[in-house]
Amino acid sequence: MKAEVPPSPDVIIAGAGLIGMTSALKLQQLGYRVRVMDRSEPGRGASFGNAGYLATELIDPLSTPETLCKAPRLLIDPHGPLSLPPRYLPTIAPWLVRFALAARRHSVDSGRTALAALNASSVAAWQRCLGSIGAADELIASGYLTVWEKPGGLGQAREKQRKLRQYGIESEILGHEEVHRRDPGLSQAIQHALLFPNAYQVSDPYRVVQRLVAAFREAGGEIVEASVEDIRVVDDGVVVTSDRGEVNAKHVIVALGAWSRQLASKLELDIPLETERGHHLTLSGRLGALRQPIGSADRNVVMTPMQCGLRIVGFSELGGLFLPPSAKRYRTLKHHAAALLADSSGLENVDEWMGFRPTLPDSLPVIGKHPKHSQVQFAFGHQHLGLTQAAITAELNADILMNKTPQIDIHPFRPDRFNRH
């Protein structure tokens, strides 16, 4: 008896990270037949290693005049948050020029407004997403602290509070004693903090992906382990080529994170996507070390208590997709964690990880249709905000696919914004 051939999907989503899986689930729930394709297990890319909290207060693009002024000092600091391997400089030089140009004031202002709009919708979108599959418990109202060790931190905290208030982001300034009452797990060196009382974290990013995958499959969705290599537009849809053959579909959404640029280029769209190599540590035995996510303004490190342990994230290295992990980066994270924690035990026995954050010069993701081929959509380049913006991106992807007016202005995220006109 001849084996039954499964029907062609309505939508193929290339990428099984948080962006891809939230989008796949949303579309499957709306009645589309969806197939997810990825070269590896869902959630094992950049989604696996993020800081685990919804960073709604991060509305400044990475490229600003202030960042460019500080960059030389950050690069030469052995424990600084930024690194650029010299051998990668010739490759990244054109991107760095675009990054510097993005620091112009009008670009920063428009970028901040666009990021604030995405972030303002992110928590409610996650609540809808997880609530729809009975997984609301994965989203935790934790609060978030940005902390300062230096005496000048109070002035910086007040200025940051003032700027964020303009975008409806509320915070409270805490002094030394208030900080340590809120979280005794912090070092006594912490002098001031900015508390974001409405902040949320997740139980564990990988666990969240697993819940999304289970719900997607239960709703009839399909996940195929395959490396997507090409997309060809045809009259009635697209043909997606992978290392497992060709598949026809009506639509495709490219959500492959740091690997998305290659597919866009095959469709004659040049998107200047670069890769931040993010390193993290997880102390599996220190789940109770902190009460909520903590971000150090002085050290650019974030620490989050999760079900898997204490996650320490914070180093960015502009090094592409092919260089190996850096032992020096792990030592830097240990150095900062030891300074920030009241009890730094366990740092000698940690799990190390390195992944790739997809980053564009203006720090805005690409969300929208191909300018010439409406069958093709893109959703990638969320840099440090992939977890934060995943669920709202999924809703935007659905609106775009159904030709509905999106709930927020997506013009700043258009795929062809880097093309010369």
Q: Could you tell me the two tokens for 263?
A: 């597919």
- Kindly report the number of other CB atoms within 10 A of residue 312's CB atom: 27
The C-alpha atoms of residue 282 and residue 302 are separated, in whole angstroms, by 12
Full-model pTM: 0.94
Question: Amino acid identity of 35?
Answer: R
Tens of pLDDT, residue by residue over 171-230, are 999 999 999 999 999 999 999 999 999 999 999 999 999 999 999 999 999 999 999 999
Q: In the structure, what pLDDT confidence band is assigned to residue 385 with cuts at 50, 70 and 90?
A: very high
CA angle at residue 355 from 351 to 357, to 5 degrees? 140
The predicted model gives 145-169 an average pLDDT of 94
Closest CA to 323 of 88, 158, 154: 88
What is the share, in percent, of the chain residues with pLDDT greater than 70? 98
Provide the pLDDT for residue 83.
77
Burial profile 203-221: b = 16 or more Cβ within 10 angstroms, e = fewer: bbbbbbbbbbbebbeebeb
Q: Is a pLDDT exceeding 50 seen at residue 379?
A: yes
CA angle at residue 300 from 297 to 303, to 5 degrees? 95
Question: Which of the pair, 306 or 1, is modelled with greater confidence?
Answer: 306
- Taking a C-beta distance cutoff of 8 angstroms, is the pair 377, 251 a contact? yes
The C-alpha atoms of residue 95 and residue 303 are separated, in whole angstroms, by 30
Question: Which of the pair, 80 or 361, is modelled with greater confidence?
Answer: 361
- Taking a C-beta distance cutoff of 8 angstroms, is the pair 361, 95 a contact? yes
- What Rg, from alpha-carbon coordinates, does the chain have? 21
Q: In the structure, what pLDDT confidence band is assigned to residue 320 with cuts at 50, 70 and 90?
A: confident
The C-alpha atoms of residue 99 and residue 97 are separated, in whole angstroms, by 5
Provide the pLDDT for residue 125.
98
The C-alpha atoms of residue 399 and residue 403 are separated, in whole angstroms, by 6
The most distant pair of C-alpha atoms in the chain lies apart, rounded to whole Å, by: 77
Q: Is a pLDDT exceeding 50 seen at residue 2?
A: no
Tens of pLDDT, residue by residue over 73-114, are 777 777 777 777 788 888 889 999 999 999 999 999 999 999
Question: Which is it for strands 222-225 and 192-196: parallel, antiparallel or unpaired?
Answer: unpaired
Provide the pLDDT for residue 238.
97
- Please, what are the domains in the chain? 11-47+206-272+363-413 (3.50.50.60), 54-202+274-359 (3.30.9.10)
The C-alpha atoms of residue 81 and residue 140 are separated, in whole angstroms, by 28
DSSP state for residue 412 in the 8-state scheme: G
- Kindly report the number of other CB atoms within 10 A of residue 418's CB atom: 16
The C-alpha atoms of residue 329 and residue 315 are separated, in whole angstroms, by 7
Tens of pLDDT, residue by residue over 213-240, are 999 999 999 999 999 999 999 988 999 9
Provide the pLDDT for residue 315.
65
Q: In the structure, what pLDDT confidence band is assigned to residue 420 with cuts at 50, 70 and 90?
A: low
Strand intervals (E) in 159-270: 172-174, 192-196, 201-202, 222-225, 228-234, 237-242, 245-249, 251-254
- Separation in Å, CA 326 to CA 50, 134, 178, 311, 330: 17, 39, 37, 18, 7
The C-alpha atoms of residue 420 and residue 373 are separated, in whole angstroms, by 18
Provide the pLDDT for residue 76.
74
Provide the pLDDT for residue 3.
40
CA angle at residue 281 from 276 to 284, to 5 degrees? 150
The C-alpha atoms of residue 18 and residue 48 are separated, in whole angstroms, by 9
Question: Amino acid identity of 2?
Answer: K
Lowest average pLDDT, out of 260-264, 355-359, 398-402, goes to 355-359
Provide the pLDDT for residue 421.
44
Tens of pLDDT, residue by residue over 44-61, are 888 888 999 999 999 999
Query: Residue with structure tokens 């418990």?
Result: 137
